[in-house]
Amino acid sequence: MPIANYSVLAGRPTAGKVVSGASAHYQITMQAAGGPFTVAVNIQSVDGSEVLYAIEEGFTPPDLAGLMALPMGMTKLQSAPDGLALDYVRSTVGGSPMITKAQMTLLPKFNAKAKGGSAEEQMIQRARAKALENAVVTLLNMTIADKEGVIYAFGSAFSDKGRVDGIHDIHMNQGNPKGNHGGDNGAWQDGALFIHLPAKGTWTAVFIAFQTESWTTDSAGNPV
């Protein structure tokens, strides 16, 4: 079945931190009606699911007017075209694809215990492995510095304490192979971050996918 509670969270970020584990996340705290909320962003690769990412500056959201009309807080979305729902395979902006696989960069893994390579090479490898984390931290700090800055996080709303506490699955949610998150597949339910900085008059988008996901999918989001 598709991911649960497909939604978009609009809010003001106040802090962020890395949460380590089998799949490390960067955890952003956002303030909005009904909050505070937690936004969990995948920032590192894990075995079998290498991360692909793109940071698109000068971005225009597919439905800019609809996004700007949203209230601050969590809004449930219908997984269908002609609305705010995102689809990496099907969404367009001005007649062009919103995002393509060719625009995305592979986030390499870094194994601190691996032997070999000079200290400089190890430093370069570490920096490449942390490229997405560093980009998210930079955008977070820029949004906090802008008194009217807002982050729009698309993904799956979750509850841990009896109420809606945050949003995760902020990445492509289709094209997964059977037996590897295939049950999460669905069309018009992909995740992303859109960052609006009114002081600069800019939008930036963060797109995340996994190498195991196909970009050729059927109407149910399953790989063809």
- The 10s digit of each residue's pLDDT in 189-217 is 999 999 999 999 999 999 999 999 999 99
- The 10s digit of each residue's pLDDT in 6-15 is 999 999 999 9
Distance separating alpha carbons of residues 101 and 133, to the nearest angstrom: 20
- The 10s digit of each residue's pLDDT in 83-104 is 999 999 999 999 999 999 999 9
**In the prediction, which pLDDT does 163 show?**
73
Is the pLDDT higher at 22 or at 218? Answer: 218
207: tokens are 């797109």
Average pLDDT estimate for 176-199: 94
Under the banding of pLDDT at 50, 70 and 90, the label for residue 44 is confident
**Does pLDDT of 175 surpass 80?**
yes
- The 10s digit of each residue's pLDDT in 106-116 is 998 755 555 55
Q: Map out the domains of the chain as residue ranges.
A: 6-210
- The model carries a pTM of 0.92
